C-alpha cells in the first residue's frame, strides 16, 4: 500500500479505490482519466470523498460541471492528467466530524427535513437521488456552516413538495414547537420549492400569537450535482438568519439574485415563487423583504423594520388545518359549475382568484350566493401579481359583495388558502370566518391602503 497515507484528503477511501489513487499519486483536485474494460475513457476532476459516500466509488467533476460516480474494480485504470495547484492553508476536503474545531458558536440551529431538492443527494453508485439531511452530511458538504451555529437535524417527511398536505403542516408545527421548547436559537425547514410559499404562510398563522425565534424555510432550485446548484448558498444564508436575525417570524430565505452575492428573507405570508428555475425565483409581493443576508460575510441587512422581535414572546402554537379548501382561478367562459361542484362535494371553503380587482363572470355570482347561503365562505384574491382586490369600484364587484363574496385586500392566494384552511379548523361560522379572514394576523394584509410597491429585483 506504499506506507501510511499522509494526505488527509484520502481519508476514508479503502480497497481498490485507495490503492489505485496511491499508486498514481492522485488526490482531490487532480484532473484524472478513468478507464474501465468495455467503456470509453472518462476524464474529470477528482472530488473529495465525504464521510458517507460509497468508499469504492470515485466522484469526478466533468468538464460540463456535473459530478458523476464511478465504481472502482481491480480492472479499472487511473491516470493523472494534471496535478492540482494546492494553495497554502486551503483545505482540500471537509474535516471528519471528530476533527471539528472545539470553539464552535454558542447558537444552536435545528434543520428539519421534509424533502425536496435541497434534502437530496446523488448516490453516485446507482445514479439515484436519495433523501439526505443529516447534520454531519451537511457539515461535510458545507463546512463553513460551522462558523455560524451548532447544527442538529431531524427528518420528519421525505416527500416531493407537490405532495404537501395541510396535515403535514400540522406535523411540522408540532416538531417546531417541541424544538423551540428544547432551546434552539433558530429552526430551518428544508422544503421543496413548488409549495414552499403555502407552507410558510401556514406556519406563520399557526404561530402568529407567539414565536420567540425565527423559523426559516428554504429550498433549492437546482440539484447538488449541478454546477449552478443553489443548495449550499441557501443553507448557509438560512443558518445565518436562523442564528443571528433580530426578528422572530416565519420567513423564506432564498437567493436574492442569480449570482452568489446575497439572499433575501421574505415574510412567510408575502412570498411567491415567481419563476420555475431561476435561483432568485422567490419574491416578496406587495411588501419589502425583511432582510438581505450576505453568506460570505455573515452580515444581515434589515430592509423592513416592521417585524416581531426575537425573544419578545413565548411560543404559542394554534395548530390545525382544514383540508376541505379549494382554489379556483377565474378564466374566460367560467360559469358557476366548479363552485357548485365543490359545494356538492362537501368543501368547507373556496378561494377564487378573480380578474383584476377580483371579478368573476355573471354566471359564477349565483353560485357564490349559494355557497354563502350554505355557510361556505368564498374568499376573493386577484390574479394580478401586485395590487389589491376592490369589489366597490365596478358594479360587478358590488354584485359579488351582495352575493356574499369576501374580498381579501392585497393578500396573495397562497396566504389566503393557508389562512382559510387554518380559520376553518377553528370555526365554521360564516360571519366569524369573514371577520378573521379580513383581520391582519401575520403581516399577510395591508388593509385599506396600497403600497404600490414593485421591487427592483423583480424586474432584474
User: Catalytic residue among 20, 108, 244, 273, which?
Assistant: 273
- Residue 339, CA distances (Å) to 47, 198, 330, 417, 425 in order: 56, 22, 11, 16, 21
DSSP-assigned letters across all residues of 8-74: GGGTT--HHHHHHHHHTT--TT-EEEEE-TTS--EEEEEPPPPTTS-TTEEEEE-TTS-EEEEE--T
- Residue 230 annotated among the catalytic residues of the structure: no
Distance between terminal CA atoms of the chain? 56
Cα 353 to the center of its chain, rounded Å = 24
- Residue 431 annotated among the catalytic residues of the structure: no
Q: Give the other-Cβ count within 10 Å of 73's Cβ.
A: 13
* Strand arrangement of the beta sheet that strand 31-35 belongs to: 67-71, 57-61, 42-46, 31-35, 77-82
User: Catalytic residue among 57, 114, 193, 199, which?
Assistant: 193
Cell 424586474: give the residue.
459
User: Catalytic residue among 117, 199, 218, 241, which?
Assistant: 117
- Residue 126 annotated among the catalytic residues of the structure: no
Considering only CA atoms, which of 420, 405, 395, 330 is closest in space to residue 368? 405
**What are the φ/ψ torsions at residue 448 (nearest 5 degrees)?**
90, -5
- Residue 193 annotated among the catalytic residues of the structure: yes
Strands 108-113 and 150-155: parallel
* Strand arrangement of the beta sheet that strand 406-407 belongs to: 325-329, 349-354, 378-382, 406-407
Cβ neighbors of 415 (< 8 A, separation 6 or more) are 201, 204, 269, 270, 444
User: Catalytic residue among 194, 322, 335, 340, which?
Assistant: 194
The residues carrying an active-site annotation are 117, 193-194, 273
Amino acid at each position: 500500500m506504499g506506507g501510511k497515507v499522509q494526505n488527509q484528503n484520502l481519508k476514508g477511501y479503502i480497497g481498490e479505490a485507495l490503492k489505485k489513487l496511491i499508486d498514481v499519486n492522485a488526490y482531490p483536485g487532480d484532473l484524472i482519466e478513468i478507464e474501465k474494460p468495455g467503456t470509453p475513457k472518462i476524464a474529470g476532476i477528482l472530488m473529495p470523498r465525504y464521510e458517507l459516500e460509497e468508499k469504492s466509488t470515485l466522484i469526478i467533476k466533468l468538464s460540463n460541471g456535473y459530478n458523476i460516480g464511478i465504481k472502482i474494480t481491480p480492472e479499472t485504470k487511473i491516470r493523472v492528467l494534471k496535478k492540482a495547484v494546492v494553495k497554502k492553508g486551503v483545505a482540500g476536503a471537509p474535516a471528519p466530524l471528530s476533527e471539528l474545531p472545539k470553539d464552535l458558536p454558542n447558537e444552536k440551529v435545528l434543520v428539519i427535513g421534509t424533502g425536496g431538492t435541497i434534502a437530496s443527494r446523488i448516490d453516485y453508485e446507482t445514479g439515484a437521488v436519495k433523501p439526505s439531511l443529516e447534520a454531519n452530511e451537511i457539515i461535510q458538504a458545507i463546512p463553513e456552516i460551522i462558523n455560524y451555529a451548532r447544527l442538529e437535524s431531524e427528518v420528519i417527511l421525505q416527500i416531493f413538495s407537490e405532495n404537501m398536505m395541510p396535515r403535514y403542516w400540522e406535523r411540522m408545527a408540532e416538531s417546531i414547537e417541541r424544538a423551540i421548547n428544547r432551546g434552539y436559537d433558530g429552526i430551518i425547514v428544508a422544503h421543496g420549492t413548488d409549495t414552499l410559499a403555502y407552507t410558510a404562510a401556514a406556519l406563520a398563522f399557526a404561530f402568529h400569537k407567539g414565536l420567540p425565534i425565527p423559523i426559516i424555510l428554504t429550498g433549492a432550485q437546482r440539484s447538488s450535482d449541478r454546477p449552478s446548484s443553489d443548495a449550499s448558498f441557501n443553507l448557509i444564508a438560512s443558518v445565518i438568519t436562523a442564528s443571528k436575525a433580530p426578528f422572530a417570524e416565519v420567513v423564506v430565505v432564498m437567493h436574492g439574485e442569480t449570482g452568489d452575492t446575497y439572499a433575501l428573507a421574505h415574510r412567510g405570508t408575502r412570498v411567491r415563487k415567481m419563476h420555475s428555475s431561476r435561483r432568485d425565483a422567490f419574491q416578496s409581493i406587495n411588501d419589502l423583504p425583511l432582510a438581505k443576508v450576505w453568506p460570505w460575510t455573515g452580515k444581515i441587512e434589515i430592509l423592513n423594520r416592521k417585524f416581531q422581535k426575537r425573544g419578545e414572546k413565548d411560543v404559542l402554537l394554534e395548530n390545525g388545518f382544514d383540508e376541505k379548501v379549494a382554489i379556483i382561478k377565474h378564466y374566460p367562459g367560467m360559469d358557476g359549475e366548479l363552485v357548485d361542484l365543490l359545494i356538492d362535494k362537501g368543501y368547507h371553503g373556496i378561494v377564487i382568484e378573480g380578474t383584476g380587482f377580483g371579478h368573476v363572470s355573471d354566471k359564477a355570482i349565483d353560485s357564490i350566493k349559494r355557497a354563502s347561503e350554505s355557510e361556505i365562505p368564498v374568499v376573493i384574491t386577484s390574479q394580478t401579481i401586485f395590487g389589491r382586490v376592490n369589489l366597490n369600484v365596478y358594479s360587478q364587484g358590488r354584485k359579488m359583495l351582495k352575493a356574499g363574496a369576501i374580498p381579501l385586500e392585497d393578500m396573495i392566494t397562497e396566504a389566503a388558502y393557508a389562512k382559510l384552511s387554518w380559520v376553518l379548523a377553528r370555526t365554521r361560522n360564516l360571519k366569524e370566518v369573514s371577520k378573521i379572514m379580513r383581520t391582519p394576523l401575520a403581516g399577510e394584509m395591508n388593509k385599506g391602503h396600497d403600497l404600490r410597491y414593485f421591487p427592483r429585483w423583480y424586474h432584474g
